[in-house]
Amino acid sequence: MSDNLKYTAEHEWIKIEDGDVAVIGITAYAQDALGDLVYVDLPDVGRKVAKGEDFAVVESVKTAAEVYSPVSGEVVGVNDNLSNDPELIKKSLEEGWIAKIKMEDAAEIAGLMDKEAYDKFVAEQDH
């Protein structure tokens, strides 16, 4: 079943808005692995990120996880609500997104997994 999202092997989800803006969050698999979230280190708006670069860090009681950008572009929005309530990440796509990146090359998302491929990837991780 498709959900119009794209996924990475680092367990980020990507939703495309307005044709060239990638909204990025972390998947339920990553949320489970991290456990209780206590802090999110957000990037500055305007920051340029390269594909594969880490642009945010999600801290849980147990560990810190970097969030990697699946695309190159410029940060055009961050979810400031996460500063006060990092657990929002787990609530929904609308409330739990981390950052929006305006893509330089929208073709970069073509190489990412769709839901079916990602589910299969996650199933393999657990075995």
Partner 1 sequence: MTSKTPLYDAHIKLNAKMGPFAGYDMPLYYGEGVMAEHEWVRREAGLFDVSHMGQIILSGPEALAFVEKLTPSSFGKIPEGRAKYTVLTNSKGGIIDDLIITKRGPDRFFAVINAGCKEKDIAWIKENLPSGVTLERLDDRALIALQGPMAEQVLRDVLKVDTEGMPYMWMIDAELSDGTPYYISRLGYTGEDGFELSVPADIADGVWTRLMQHGAVKPIGLAARDSLRLEMGYCLYGHDIDENTSPIEAGLSWVMGKENTGFIGAGRILSQKEDGVERQRIGVRLTEKGVAREGAEILSAQDMRKIGTLTSGGFSPSLKEGIGQGYVESDWAQAGKKIFVSVRGRNIAAEIADMPFMQARTKSMKKAA
CB of 9 to partner 1, least distance (A): 22
Smallest separation (angstroms) from partner 1 to the CB of 13: 22
Residues between 18 and 77 that touch partner 1 (CB under 8 A): 35-36, 38-39, 41, 57, 59-62, 64
Give min distance, CB of 54 to partner 1, in A.
Answer: 9
> Per residue in 66-93, is it b (16+ CB within 10 Å) or e — as a string?
ebbbbbbbebeebbeebeeebebbbeee
Size of the site for partner 1 (CB under 8 A): 12
Question: By the 8 A CB rule, do 1 and 115 touch?
Answer: yes
Q: Which residues contact 105 (CB under 8 A, 6 or more apart)?
A: 71, 72
Site string for partner 1, 79-108 (x = CB under 8 A): ----x-------------------------
Give the position of tokens 């572009």: 73
What's the distance, CA 70 to chain centroid? 8
Q: Which positions lie near partner 1, rule CB under 8 A?
A: 35-36, 38-39, 41, 57, 59-62, 64, 83
